[in-house]
Amino acid sequence: MQTDALNIVCPHCDSVNRVPRSRIGDGPKCGRCGNPLFTASPVHLGDHNFHKHVSRNGIPVLVDFWAPWCAPCRIMEPGMEQAAARFEPNLRVAKVNTDEAGQVAAGLGIQGIPTVILFRNGSEVARQTGAMDPGTLMRWIEAHL
């Protein structure tokens, strides 16, 4: 049986908020900082907040592991932006710069970038390494949600 509320981690202050399922699409705001819980753009995560966002969000979390020097990673950026705009509030889209979050990348065995991982309830459910154009990325997400 599903509960009436979902945990949503604030992309601004990392606080966990309980949001009624029936209100998830109504533009909920964080009870701590007052900012929107959904911004229609990827959330930037690092070693300090990655695990909280992946394990405590009541919605799936799609994470793009990338680096600023990686040309294929930059090619994927528009697709990640489109995914955030299209799938929120039913999916959190996040980005992890592997140069800055080495512990997370090493812990997940990231060996090549870009790598996209879909997490549900803190567990990895799908992984894809290599650049995808926006259309391919959208189809990949839909196939794994």
The residue from 13, 30, 33, 73 that is catalytic is 73
73 catalytic? Reply is: yes
- DSSP-assigned states of every residue in the chain: ---SEEEEE-TTT--EEEEEGGGTTS--B-TTT--BS--SSPEEE-TTTHHHHHHH-SS-EEEEEE-TT-HHHHHHHHHHHHHHHHHTTSSEEEEEETTT-HHHHHHTT--SSSEEEEEETTEEEEEEES---HHHHHHHHHHH-
* Catalytic site includes residue 10: no
Q: Which two tokens stand for residue 94?
A: 């996040």
Token pair for residue 8?
């949503």
> How many CB atoms within 10 Å of residue 123?
9
Catalytic residue among 10, 30, 33, 70: 70
Catalytic positions = 70, 73
